[in-house]
Structure 1
Amino acid sequence: MNNIAQNAKIERNIVKSVNKNLDASIELLKKTVNINSGSLNIDGVRKVGELYKAELDKLGFKTELTSGEAYGRAGHLIAKKEGKKGPKFLLIGHLDTVFELDSPFQEFTMLNDSIMKGPGVADMKGGDVIIILAMKALKESGALDEMSIEIIMTGDEEKSGSPIELSKKDLVEGAKWADIALGFENGDNNPKTIVVSRRGSEDWQLTVTGQPAHSSQIFTESIGTGAIYEAARILNEFYLQLAKEKDLTFNPGFFLGGTNVAPNEDLTGGTAFGKNNVVAQTAVVHGDLRAVSPEQLQKSKVIMKEIVANKYPKTSAELIFDNEGYPPLAQTDGNMKLLEYYNTVSKDLGFGAVEAVNPRNAGAADISFTSGYVDMALDGMGLTGGSGDHTIEEMGNLNTVGVQAKITAVLMYRMMQQKKEE
C-alpha cells in the first residue's frame, strides 16, 4: 500500500474511532459539568482533573496533577508522551470554571437532543473532552505512538493564581518545548471561525488626589478642580485619544470618588463618602486594558500615562498597570499557515471552510502564554455552537464535539506526516 492510500486509511480510522467513542465522551462531559470546579473550589477542580487524568492514563500518557499551593490554586493536569517523529504538540485546556460553589448554576440540562446548558460546558469542559476524544482516535488508528504531545489543562484559567509567574510556569515551559500550540477554548461560538490571535488583558488602577475645600471655592486658583473632575478628564481623554484604535479596549470597571474612598481588597468595588458641598479629595478607578499585540499594548500604555501627566490645577494622579495580566497572542505568519491546514482538513472532512475570528470576539486565554515561543498556534478548537459564556445561560452544541475531535486528530496526523516528508 502506498503512502497516500495508507494515510487515507488512517484518517478513515480516526473518523471511525471518534464515531465509536462519541457517546462515552458525551457522558464524560455530562459527569464533569455536574462537578463544581470554580477556580477557588480546589477540591472540585482536582476532582475534574482526576477524571481526565484517568482517561489519559489509559492512552499511555505520563500524567500528573501538580500542586498549586504556591500560587493559591488547585494546580494543573499535565500529560506527556514522547514520540520519535513529527512536530511537538502542546494541547491546552483548563479544568476550572467561573461558577463557584455559591453560584445558582451547578448542573446541566438538555434543552433538546443536542444543546446542553450547563456550567463550563463550553468554557471549557467541552474542549477538554474533545482533546481526550481526539487522542483516543489517534491511539486507536495507530498514529499516536509516534507523536510527541504535551497536554496541559490548567486549574486557574478563569481566575489566575498569584504570582502569575508560578501559575503559568508549566504552560510557558511547555510552550518552549513545543513547535505547535493548539487551544481548545470555544472562540466566538461560531463553528466556522478559529482563533489566530487573542487580545491580552491587563488591569490598571487610577488614583487621583485633589485639594479638599468648601464647594464654593472650586475652580479657584488655590483649590483647583478636585479629584473627581480630574479623574473624569483623564477617562474622557482615554476615550478621545484611544477609542478608535483597532482592536484596543480600555474599560473602567468601577469609579469611587469623594472625601474618603475605600476600595475592596480584590478591587471589585468599595465604598465612598462625600458631601455635595465639599470638593472631592480622592478618586479611584479600576479597569482593564486589552490589546491585540505587545506593540499595541505598550503604545497605549504610553499614551495613557501621558494623559495622566497632563493634570488639572491642584491635582495629582497615579496610573498603575498590573503586570500579572495575560499577554496578547499576536497574529503571525505561522498561525495563518496553521489556519490554512486547519481549513483544508475541515473541508476535506465535509465540515466546510473555516476563517479567522475577529479578535474582538474572543477574550484572553491560556494559549497567549505560548506567544513568542511556538512556531504556530491556533485556539478556539473546543466545543462551539452555543452562547452565554460566563453566565447562567451558558450552553453548547454537543454535535460539535465529534466534529472538532475529528478535525483535531486529522490535523495533527497530517502535520506529523508533513514533517516526516520534509
Structure 2
Amino acid sequence: MKAFLQSNEENMLTLLEKLVNIDSGSTNKAGIDAIGKELKAIYEELGFLIETIHETDHGNHLIIKHKTAIDPKIIVVAHMDTVFKLGTAKERPFTQQNGIAYGPGVIDMKGSHVALIYALKALLNSQRNGYENVQIVLNSDEEIGSPTSRALIEKHAIGKDYALIMEPARKDGSLVTVRRGGGRYSLYVQGKGAHSGIEPQNGISAIAELAHKIIKLHALTNHEEGISVSVGLIEGGESVNTIAPSAVGHVDVRISKLEQAEWLDRRIKEICSTPDIAGTTITLEGGINRPPMVKNEQTIALLNIIREVGNDLGIEITDIATGGGSDASFTSAAGVPTIDGLGPIGGNAHSVEEYLEVPSLVERTNLLAELIARLSK
C-alpha cells in the first residue's frame, strides 16, 4: 500500500490544493457544501454510498459507507468546516515550499480528508479488508461545537468497536488520547442608560454588573482539577460619556472529568441568577456541549494496536493530552474506544501560519490504511 501511496503523492497534493482553495468556514454553507460535493463525487467513484443530511443554516453532513458494507465496526469522523472567513483562500491560497504546504485549513483538516480518501483507495487497490468496515461521518460544524452534528455522531457510534477521529497529528507526530471537555456561555446584562455628566445618578451600569460577574466566574477556575472558566470577549456601552445600558460577556469553560460538568453548569447559573447591582437584569445562554475525552483502558488498548501497526511500518507512535476540543469527545463518552489525531502532521491551526508536513501525508495515510486493515481482521 505504501508504494501505491508514494506513486500517488502528487495526486494527493493536487486534491489537497483543490480543497484548501475552497473557503469553507463554519458559517459558509455554500463553501462547505462545495467541499461536500467534491468529496461525495470521489467516494461515489470508489463505490461508496452517501447519505446527505441536509441543514438549513449550516453545511450539509455526509454519512458514507461502501456499497458492500453490512455492519461496519469502525466509525471515522472528519469535519469539513474551517475557522476562516470568506475570501481567505483567495488572499492566501495553497502553496508549497521546502516540503511544507500552507493554506487555510491545510492541516485542520483538509489534509485529513485527503489521507482518508487515499487510505481507502490503497485498501481497495491492494484488495485488503477494511474499506467495507468503516462508517464515515463528515460533519460541517465541528469548529463551532458541532451543534447540529453531535447527535448524528452519537447515533452512528452505537455498536461500533472503534472510533478513529481525523484531526491532525500534533507537531511532533503524537496522537491524541485525552481532550478536555467544555462549552460556551453568553451573559447578557441590561441596565439603564444615562448621561454620565448631567444625570449619572439616574443610570445603572450594565458594565459594572458584568464586571462583578466576571470576577465571580473566573474564581471558579481550578487548574489543579483541570477546570478553567474564562470570559474571553466582552462588549458593552454606547459611548464613553454614557452610563452603559447593556453589556455582554462571552464565556469559555473547560473541564477534565465528566462529573465536573453538572457542578460547573450549576455554579455558573447560580452566579448569574442574582444581580450584584440592583436594577440590572441578566440573561444567560449556552452550556457545556462537549464531554471530556478520557484515556481509559479501552483507549489504551486501541493505542497499543496502533503502536503495533506503527512498529511494523517503522513509525514510533506517541500520544498526548490536549486542552482543545473535538468530536472525539462524543464517541469517547459513548463508550467507543477512541483515538484522535490520525491525520497528517502539521501545526499552527487556525492561524496564517497553518502548515502541513508534506512527507507525513503518505506516511500517515499508510498508517491509517494499515490500521483499518488490522482492526478489520
TM-score category, normalised to shorter length: 0.7 to 0.9
Alignment partner, residue 129 of structure 1: 114
Name the stretch that deviates more: 15-24 or 129-138.
15-24
Distance 1:195 1:391 in 2: 20
Distance 2:352 2:160 in 1: 36
1:1-400 map, 5 Å = 14-69=1-56, 72-81=57-66, 83=69, 88-103=73-88, 105-112=91-98, 114-144=99-129, 147-159=132-144, 164-165=147-148, 167-191=149-173, 193-208=174-189, 226-258=205-237, 272-273=238-239, 275=241, 278=243, 280=244, 282-308=246-272, 312=276, 314=278, 318=282, 320-323=284-287, 325-355=289-319, 357-360=320-323, 363-387=324-348, 389-400=349-360
Shift of 1:394: 1.5
Shift of 1:379: 1.1
Higher strand residue share:
2
- SS of the equivalent of 1:97 reads coil
- Going from structure 1 to structure 2, the CA distance change for 1:61 and 1:228 (only over 3 Å counts) comes to same
- Going from structure 1 to structure 2, the CA distance change for 1:313 and 1:43 (only over 3 Å counts) comes to closer
Distance 2:65 2:3 in 1: 25
Query: Cα RMSD between the aligned structures?
Result: 3.3
> Normalized against structure 1, the TM-score is what?
0.77
Distance 1:208 1:73 in 2: 29
Distance 1:43 1:241 in 2: 40
- Going from structure 1 to structure 2, the CA distance change for 1:233 and 1:406 (only over 3 Å counts) comes to same
Shift of 1:128: 0.6
- SS of the equivalent of 1:206 reads strand
- Going from structure 1 to structure 2, the CA distance change for 1:110 and 1:415 (only over 3 Å counts) comes to same
Distance 2:256 2:18 in 1: 36
Q: Which has the larger radius of gyration?
A: 1
Distance 1:213 1:52 in 2: 56
**Per-residue CA shift, 1:65-114, capped at 9, x if unaligned?**
44223xx12302321135468x60111112222223233645111122x1
Shift of 1:137: 1.7
- Going from structure 1 to structure 2, the CA distance change for 1:46 and 1:241 (only over 3 Å counts) comes to closer
- SS of the equivalent of 1:322 reads strand
Identity of matched residues, %: 31
Checking the alignment, whether the CA contact within 8 Å between 1:122 and 1:384 is kept in structure 2 is: yes
**Per-residue CA shift, 1:158-190, capped at 9, x if unaligned?**
3468xx34x444322211242211111115433
Checking the alignment, whether the CA contact within 8 Å between 2:20 and 2:104 is kept in structure 1 is: yes
Distance 1:213 1:109 in 2: 54
Shift of 1:117: 0.8
Shift of 1:350: 0.9
> Normalized against structure 2, the TM-score is what?
0.86
**Per-residue CA shift, 1:227-259, capped at 9, x if unaligned?**
43443232223333424344333222322344x
- Going from structure 1 to structure 2, the CA distance change for 1:188 and 1:296 (only over 3 Å counts) comes to farther
- Going from structure 1 to structure 2, the CA distance change for 1:285 and 1:378 (only over 3 Å counts) comes to same
- SS of the equivalent of 1:197 reads strand
Checking the alignment, whether the CA contact within 8 Å between 2:207 and 2:246 is kept in structure 1 is: yes
Checking the alignment, whether the CA contact within 8 Å between 2:16 and 2:114 is kept in structure 1 is: yes
- SS of the equivalent of 2:374 reads helix
- Going from structure 1 to structure 2, the CA distance change for 1:275 and 1:29 (only over 3 Å counts) comes to same
Checking the alignment, whether the CA contact within 8 Å between 2:265 and 2:287 is kept in structure 1 is: no
Alignment partner, residue 264 of structure 1: none
Checking the alignment, whether the CA contact within 8 Å between 1:91 and 1:182 is kept in structure 2 is: yes
Q: What is the count of residue pairs matched by the alignment?
A: 375
Extract unaligned runs of 5+ from structure 2. none
Distance 1:225 1:35 in 2: 48
Checking the alignment, whether the CA contact within 8 Å between 2:93 and 2:103 is kept in structure 1 is: yes
Checking the alignment, whether the CA contact within 8 Å between 1:327 and 1:369 is kept in structure 2 is: yes
**Per-residue CA shift, 1:337-395, capped at 9, x if unaligned?**
2122222322331111312x2222xx2223333243242111111122332x1122211
**Per-residue CA shift, 1:193-224, capped at 9, x if unaligned?**
211232334221223456778979xxxxx999
- SS of the equivalent of 2:342 reads coil
Distance 2:322 2:192 in 1: 42
| Structure 1 residue ranges, 4+ long, deviating more than 6 angstroms after superposition | 211-216, 222-225
